[in-house]
Amino acid sequence: MGDWRWVVWVLVASLVVVMGNVLWVALVRRWYRLRTPLPQALKAQCADGWELAVHARRAPVRRFEEPVLLCHGLAANRYTFDFEPPYSVAHYLAEAGFDCFSVEWRGTGHSRLPPRGRRYTDFTIDDHILQDGPALLELALKETGAKRAFWLGHSLGGLVGYALAQGPEGAKLSGLLTLGAPVHFKSEPFLRTLISLGVRAAWPARFRQEWMSASLAPFLGYVTLPLSDLVVNPLHIPPRIQRQVYANMMSSMSRKVLLQFQDWIEHDAFRSFDRTRDWRAGISRLQLPILVMGGSADRLATAENVESQFALVTAEDRTLHVFGRDRGDALDYGHGDLVFGKGAPQEVYPVIREWLEKHATPLDSADAPAPPPA
């Protein structure tokens, strides 16, 4: 009888711990919620039936025909680009006159619900490229009445843009902007170990890192998490912004996506899940305008990585910009610093805006297409 009581006490204690953590995370997310007007919530239907959440931040005065598609990276969500000003690319570009559409890839944020017969973790990066990207592009063009759009991707979002542009949708892009996108992958022991641990932690379906991130968010700025400098340099991100980022922006990672990254890291490849399509080789065939950006202190998309990536580009209209002190910037930018670094709104965002304005089609306010009825 005593053994049963012990089991019951363990179960009760475990339940109390779980419920306490659920309450803690809810309170953290409530406290560190973003205090900015919500964007317009839209849905994009993929060809395979998966429905994506797309968040539109409209320009108060639309000055340019082409919308800007804002595409987040691995383990992130739409808050990468649509955050609280001044650390919000979506707000910044909307004020400059661009309609902005921030996607949440399948399995992320409000795009978690799969179509009937599919598991919510049953996808690879191929699906982002072949299904999600075309659906996002189609929605943005339909909503704005534009013929083409710009693609701005951070990290994985940039890689998806490179691959999407190699398909039939490439003709619908006016330009591609990549920010900290690692086209080359060094097979270093540290990275191999890290991705191997991630794959194991994601068994059997996904790695729920967003729960851990939200739980620890209130302590950031006082303590530094192990390996956090891989993603951001804590010294470059204001403490409250760190806490808001970890409370709101982190998302879980599908095991199949991590397995694909493991293949890329072990074989220095950027290719399809079945290894039949080499997207890195296809970059040399792209002829649309391309802006390649990176950070001088980025440990994932290193400056050398970004420069060798740029060397693959043969498009006549191509530009490389590595942000760092050696160029006169205030910071040596890391991976997430390119968006959330203290100097990003003054140094990174203007480079993006000026490139877009140079390549966009100006609109007279009277000629701007009216948005479709809600």
pLDDT for 110-127, tens place per residue?
998 898 888 888 999 999
- Its pTM stands at 0.93
pLDDT tens figures, 314-332: 999 999 999 999 999 999 9
* Of residues 374 and 34, more confidently modeled: 34
pLDDT the model gives residue 365: 61
Residue with tokens 């879980």: 252
pLDDT tens figures, 178-190: 999 999 988 667 6
Among the residues of the chain, which ranges form H helices?
A: 2-31, 89-95, 125-127, 133-144, 156-165, 189-201, 209-216, 239-248, 255-267, 279-282, 303-312, 337-340, 344-347, 349-359
pLDDT the model gives residue 276: 97
Tokens of 118: 């599919």
pLDDT the model gives residue 209: 81
Average pLDDT (10-34) is 80
135's CB contacts (< 8 A; 6+ apart) are 44, 45, 46, 47, 52
pLDDT tens figures, 259-309: 999 999 999 999 999 999 999 999 999 999 999 999 999 989 999 999 999
Instruction: Using pLDDT thresholds of 50, 70 and 90, give the confidence band for residue 194.
Output: confident
Complete domains list, the chain, with CATH: 40-367 (3.40.50.1820)
